[in-house]
Amino acid sequence: MANIKSAKKRVLIAEVRNARNKAIKSGVKTAVKKVEAAVAAGDKENAQKELLNATSLIDKAEKKGVFHKNTASNKVSRLAKLVNTVQ
């Protein structure tokens, strides 16, 4: 741990941000898995509902700076393409 007061504060802030980023990423991963599971089951209605939820979480993560805008866009695009394959 650092000896300087401002350095100690930065360490604490970094820990808090790291924990928040992990929580947000975990939520996004869970939402993506739900979409993939609905697609695997062939449930188009549920897949579309889960896609909407996942898209919302990904957009929020982008706004908070957890994902780069292009990464977020690619994730949403891949999920939408996957949902559109369901008959």
Is residue 49 pLDDT above 90, yes or no?
yes
> What are 64-76's pLDDT values in tens digits?
999 999 999 999 9
Burial of 28 (0-12, 13-18, 19+ CB in 10 A): buried
Is residue 42 pLDDT above 80, yes or no?
yes
Question: In angstroms, rounded to a whole number, what is the distance separating the alpha carbons of residues 22 and 42?
Answer: 30
Question: In angstroms, rounded to a whole number, what is the distance separating the alpha carbons of residues 67 and 36?
Answer: 20
Q: What pTM, to 2 d.p., does this model score? A: 0.86
Cα–Cα separations (whole angstroms), residue 15 to 6, 8, 59, 64: 14, 11, 23, 16
Is residue 1 pLDDT above 80, yes or no?
no
CATH number for the domain harbouring residue 30: 1.20.58.110
Residue 2: predicted pLDDT: 80
Domain that holds residue 74: 5-84
What domain count does the chain have? 1
Residue 87: predicted pLDDT: 78
